[in-house]
Amino acid sequence: MIKLYDFPLSGHAHKVRLMLSLLKIDYERIEVALAKGEQRSEDFLALNPFHHVPVLKEDGLVIRDSNAILTYLAKKFAPDWYPSDAESSARIQEWLSVANKELTEGPGTARLVNVFGAGLDHKAAIEKSHELLNIIEQHLEGRDWIALEHVTVADIALFTYIAHAPEGDVSLEAYPNINAWLARIESLDGFVGMPKTNVGLTVS
Ligand SMILES: N[C@@H](CCC(=O)N[C@@H](CS)C(=O)NCC(=O)O)C(=O)O
């Protein structure tokens, strides 16, 4: 059975829980106590030397990084979520890269400051968030899904940190296309959300 090394309030980990749930795949959840520094234990570093959740383990196979895990799950269990033709693959990869950089540096960082007290530049993160959200808002004009004409891993990779952007004081009010897209994902069969957070949690 698949094991997922997880943390309930990690958006990166939530993306994987969401994908597993949408694909109706059973798995065992192993919570890594980030606040206690468990991600730096010898056992966990053997799974992921970058000391991050999520990590997926299936028999002897270990995969770290949320986007890599989404890719693995789609390729193995649901190829339509990441079609293999050249153009579709490139379209999806474009947005996985955005999920990794701009989304993390913008809404991900703004939330990290508010929810976990990270000593990062909140104002800059909010500015970057709105730059990104404006681009996505325009991109979604006349489109239902982010990369292709149907839902793909790109939608899941972007979902969590956009849906939870208000926790970092990044308002979504000015983005009707984004709100409609979020609602489209939330209405998928098997959707599970991430718990909303109170400010002031501490992660080492
Ligand atoms: N690129 C990684 C980033 C994962 C990541 O940043 N995880 C955070 C939680 S959201 C973490 O485990 N932080 C613990 C630490 O930095 O020690 C991914 O997409 O999985």
Please choose from 9, 18, 53, 201 the residue to mutate so as to test ligand 1's pocket, defined by most ligand atoms within 8 A of CB.
Answer: 53
Predicted structure pTM score = 0.95
The per-residue pLDDT for range 39-91, each reduced to its tens digit, is 999 999 999 999 999 999 999 999 999 999 999 999 999 999 999 999 999 99
pLDDT at 203: 46
Residue having the nearest C-alpha atom to atom 9 of ligand 1: 10
CA 32 to centroid of ligand 1, rounded, Å: 11
Does residue 103 surpass a pLDDT of 90?
yes
Does residue 9 surpass a pLDDT of 60?
yes
- Looking at every residue in the chain, the average pLDDT score rounds to 96
In the structure, which protein residues have their CB atom closer than 6 angstroms to any atom of ligand 1? 10-12, 34, 39, 51-54, 65-67
Q: Which amino acid is at 195?
A: P
The per-residue pLDDT for range 106-131, each reduced to its tens digit, is 999 999 999 999 999 999 999 999 99
Does residue 200 surpass a pLDDT of 80?
no
pLDDT at 198: 63
